[in-house]
Amino acid sequence: MVVRGEAPLAQAAIRRSNLSRMLWDLHLVGPQSRSDLATKLQLNRSTVASLVGELAERGFVWEHGQRGIPAGPGRPSPVVELRSDGPAVVAVELATDWISAAIIGFGGNVMVASRRDHSLASSDPNDIVGQLHEIVASLLLRLRRQTPLISMGVSVPGAVRAEDGYLHHAPNLGWRDVPLGDMIRGRFGDLAIPVYVGNDADLAAAAEHIRGAGLGADDFICLWGEGGIGAGFVVAGHSLTGSAGYAGEVGHLMVDPNGALCHCGSRGCWEAQVGEEALLRRSGRDPLGGVGAVTDLLAAADKGDETALAALAESGRWLGIGIAGLVNVFNPTRVALGGLYARIYPYVKDAVVRELDTRAMPAPRAMVELTTVLLGPFTLLLGAAELALAPALQNPMIVPLTASGVRVEDATRRRPQDRPDRTGTARFPATT
């Protein structure tokens, strides 16, 4: 027996699910014809037309004829494409040595981006949030168009509680017990949008799994770090974040009981052996020299400097030791290195592979591919954007209907520069 009121509720849930499926597919794959969407989503043409119409009225998509041919009787099925001026999010990366932000739309469309080089080590979180507000304000001025902002995603190198963005500990920033999510919400009250905070390695893994080095790999690990090292895991196609979002702190696995003291307060952590400070210290440089000191080290290595090469080789050895352990535990098909580890990989590859071949069990070793991230400096911004876009992807109805939703446009009226960049490879402008 159907209870009165249940049928409309069920129908609304089905429609919401179908809108989500269609938007997800366009977000991941890009422009597609109505007929292709109908086949892929196993929906009839009238349902697809209705769903496309609603996504258009909510500002997500527009339609045009194939190869510039307007849609009409006997014509090819119209193509559905994400709008370059549609709903977007603010994406933020708080790194050890810089603050970066971008406005990013669906499909990985990076609209504008900026980075301010500034050491966050031992900084005041309130000051950093204030600087972040300045950077985002400048981005919105540069955008010069009415792009609806629906949320903000923030990447931070530390243990973050997923529920509210509470940062328990970011050793390389010197931050502990910081209500980061609440601080950002308060400072950005003028935007009146939700704020989501995530761990940098988790967000790097999400972005690379969707658009980069992890594409097509259902069991994938992304190792990420600038000052330290963390990992994001994709297991059987799903992110592994733990019960509260704290999973992935592999930098604090003990690899040497008698090793160096770590910023977390323990001793012998993997991060203490492979982190930026350890690398610079081995090379005779200032451990707190940051990106500039790493750049100088790599330049010396390029010239054959024996001390620089030896420091890199030792860091590579410890990197390989840790990766071998992860391969034995998780049996991934691909491991990607990002951040500092992508930059040094050409110099440490031999040492890493040697330890991996020696220490990983033969069967999982034979299955794993070692590579670097593909999204470059936009990996974490795209990951933060995915975090912020997730609620709308799950339920597109949270984005209001527009008063002037455009359902069909002539492709010849769309300028090439207005098309989304789904590769996420746009360049940062000069630092501000």
Q: How many domains does the chain fold into? A: 3
Query: Are 195 and 265 contained in the same domain?
Result: no
> Residue 43 is part of a domain; what is its CATH number?
1.10.10.10
Q: How many CB atoms lie within 10 A of CB 313?
A: 17
Q: Enumerate the β-bridge partners of residue 159.
A: 169
Does residue 94 lie within any of the structural domains? Answer: yes
Query: Are 344 and 266 contained in the same domain?
Result: yes
Q: Minimum mean pLDDT among 5-19, 130-144, 181-195, 290-304: which range?
A: 5-19
Among candidate residues 31, 49, 82, the one where a domain is terminated: 82
Rg (CA), the chain: 23
Phi, psi (degrees; rounded to nearest 5) at 104: -130, 135
Report for 62-66, 67-71, 223-227, 339-343: range of highest mean pLDDT: 339-343
What is the secondary structure of 162-203 as a DSSP string?
A: TTTTEEEEETTTTEEEE-HHHHHHHHTTTT---EEEEEHHHH
**SS3 (DSSP) at 230:** strand
What confidence tier does 7 reach under pLDDT thresholds 50, 70, 90? low
Element of type H or E holding 155: strand 149-156
Distance in angstroms (rounded) separating the CA atoms of residues 91 and 230: 20
Per DSSP, 386 falls in state H
How far is the CA of 336 from the CAs of 153, 200, 204, in angstroms? 22, 14, 10
Q: With beta carbons less than 8 A apart as the criterion, state whether 121 and 227 touch.
A: yes
Give the β-pairing of 88-94 and 149-156. parallel
Query: Are 252 and 359 contained in the same domain?
Result: yes
In which residue are the tokens 């109505």 written?
34
Q: With beta carbons less than 8 A apart as the criterion, state whether 252 and 266 touch.
A: yes
Give the β-pairing of 175-178 and 238-240. unpaired
Distance in angstroms (rounded) separating the CA atoms of residues 260 and 268: 5
Helix, strand, coil share of the chain (percent; to 5): 45, 20, 35
What is the 3 state secondary structure string of 279-341? HHHHCCCCCCCHHHHHHHHHHHHHCCCHHHHHHHHHHHHHHHHHHHHHHHHHCCCEEEECCHH
Among candidate residues 16, 50, 82, the one where a domain is terminated: 82
- Stronger pLDDT, 121 or 402, i.e. the higher one: 121
Query: Are 343 and 385 contained in the same domain?
Result: no
Query: Are 290 and 232 contained in the same domain?
Result: yes
Q: With beta carbons less than 8 A apart as the criterion, state whether 369 and 220 touch.
A: no
Query: Are 197 and 102 contained in the same domain?
Result: yes
What is the amino acid identity at position 167?
L
Checking if the pLDDT of 294 tops 70, the result is: yes
The pLDDT value recorded for residue 427 is 43
Query: Are 364 and 218 contained in the same domain?
Result: yes
What is the secondary structure of 336-371 as a DSSP string?
A: EE-THHHHHHHHHHHHHHHHHHHHS-HHHHHH-EEE
Q: How many CB atoms lie within 10 A of CB 74?
A: 4
Q: Which two tokens stand for residue 94?
A: 């708080």
Phi, psi (degrees; rounded to nearest 5) at 375: -90, 0
Query: What are the pLDDT digits (tens) for 114-123?
Result: 999 988 988 9
Query: Are 183 and 226 contained in the same domain?
Result: no
What confidence tier does 74 reach under pLDDT thresholds 50, 70, 90? low
Does residue 312 lie within any of the structural domains? Answer: yes
pTM here is 0.88
Distance in angstroms (rounded) separating the CA atoms of residues 59 and 81: 11
Q: With beta carbons less than 8 A apart as the criterion, state whether 171 and 264 touch.
A: yes
What confidence tier does 24 reach under pLDDT thresholds 50, 70, 90? very high
Q: Which two tokens stand for residue 34?
A: 């109505």
Does residue 61 lie within any of the structural domains? Answer: yes
Query: Are 134 and 257 contained in the same domain?
Result: no
Distance in angstroms (rounded) separating the CA atoms of residues 113 and 100: 7
What confidence tier does 146 reach under pLDDT thresholds 50, 70, 90? confident
Nearest Cα neighbor of 380 from 214, 164, 161, 156 is 156
> Residue 135 is part of a domain; what is its CATH number?
3.30.420.40
Q: Which two tokens stand for residue 320?
A: 């390989």
Query: Are 227 and 353 contained in the same domain?
Result: yes
Beta-strand (E) ranges in 2-94?
A: 32-33, 61-64, 79-82, 88-94
C-alpha angle 383-96-350 in degrees, rounded to nearest 5: 80
The pLDDT value recorded for residue 281 is 96
Give the β-pairing of 220-224 and 230-235. antiparallel
Among candidate residues 34, 64, 82, the one where a domain is terminated: 82
Query: What are the pLDDT digits (tens) for 28-45?
Result: 999 999 999 999 999 999
Query: Are 55 and 110 contained in the same domain?
Result: no
Query: Are 263 and 370 contained in the same domain?
Result: yes
Does residue 405 lie within any of the structural domains? Answer: no
What confidence tier does 66 reach under pLDDT thresholds 50, 70, 90? low
Does residue 93 lie within any of the structural domains? Answer: yes
Distance in angstroms (rounded) separating the CA atoms of residues 54 and 28: 19
Does residue 243 lie within any of the structural domains? Answer: yes
Which domain range does residue 227 map to? 213-374
Does residue 430 lie within any of the structural domains? Answer: no
What confidence tier does 412 reach under pLDDT thresholds 50, 70, 90? very low
Distance between alpha carbon 169 and the CA centroid of its chain, in Å?
20
Does residue 418 lie within any of the structural domains? Answer: no
What is the amino acid identity at position 356?
L
